[in-house]
Amino acid sequence: EVQLVESGGGLVQPGRSLKLSCLASGFTFSNYGMNWIRQAPGKGLEWVASISSSSSYIYYADTVKGRFTISRDNAKNTLYLQMTSLRSEDTALYYCAREDGYNYDFDYWGQGVMVTVSS
Amino acid sequence: DVVMTQTPPSLSVAIGQSVSISCKSSQSLVYSDGKTYLHWLLQSPGRSPKRLIYQVSNLGSGVPDRFSGTGSQKDFTLKISRVEAEDLGVYYCAQTTHFPPTFGAGTKLELK
């Protein structure tokens, strides 16, 4: 069974940093591209960043480019999102999602981890 | 960015009723390989999103055939025949044809 379990969220002050993790199991992690997608409270979904299976290709939304860094450790089956210079508008539930490499959609999602940016 | 416009924003339905949700994109979603990367997801209350339909009309694993997806180019529809209680939640369309991936604002399906 595919499982994606996010961790590392919490309350952080504006301008500070936070690092999210997503532990994958139930599939060969190193074969799949992965994504971070967020959902502000009561709002819709916003794609944040993606990373290819071997980390060769990395992409970011304009809203986080230069502040967030996506990375992965295939030996540890873990996806990361390093977030710096956090703003109030980054407050959201952050999901990691697996990318189906054939159909180019998000076929499995984690349960999400909450990040609240507030003084 | 490609704007995905979903209508209606909400739907109130009775169990057993059939409903349709529209999703229109600001650009054609046909990729250079000829495929259309338009997908549907369902977010049940308090849960994370779940894959429903990929590439316009293909049902995700375990998704009942009461769900169907149609459309082409910029105009797409999700149909649910004989709504059941487990179908309640927010439906999102998403496109991955163009960078960045974008989502519709969602359609909330509620019980009448």
Output the tens digit of pLDDT for each of chain A's 119 residues: 999 999 999 999 999 999 999 999 999 999 999 999 999 999 999 999 999 999 999 999 999 999 999 999 999 999 999 999 999 999 999 999 999 989 899 999 999 999 999 99
Look at B55 and A109 and tell me if their CB atoms are within 8 Å.
no
Statement: residue B112 has pLDDT above 90: no
- pLDDT, position B29: 98
Nearest residue on chain A to B107, judged by CA atoms? A44
Instruction: Place B45 in a pLDDT band, splitting at 50, 70 and 90.
Output: very high
A contact test, residue of B32, B40, B44, B48 with most A CBs within 10 A: B48
Which of B54, B101, B106 is facing A100, going by the closest CB pair? B54
Contacts of B60 in chain A (CB under 8 A): 107
What residues contact A62, with CB distance under 8 A and at least 6 apart? Answer: B100
Backbone angles phi, psi at B23, to 5 degrees: -140, 120
Q: Mean pLDDT for chain B?
A: 97
Which among A45, A104, A112 has the least Cβ separation from residue B37? A104
**Alpha carbon distances (Å) from A87 to A13, A36, A62, A67, B57:** 8, 17, 14, 10, 39
**Chain B residues lying within 8 Å of A95, measured CB to CB:** 48-49
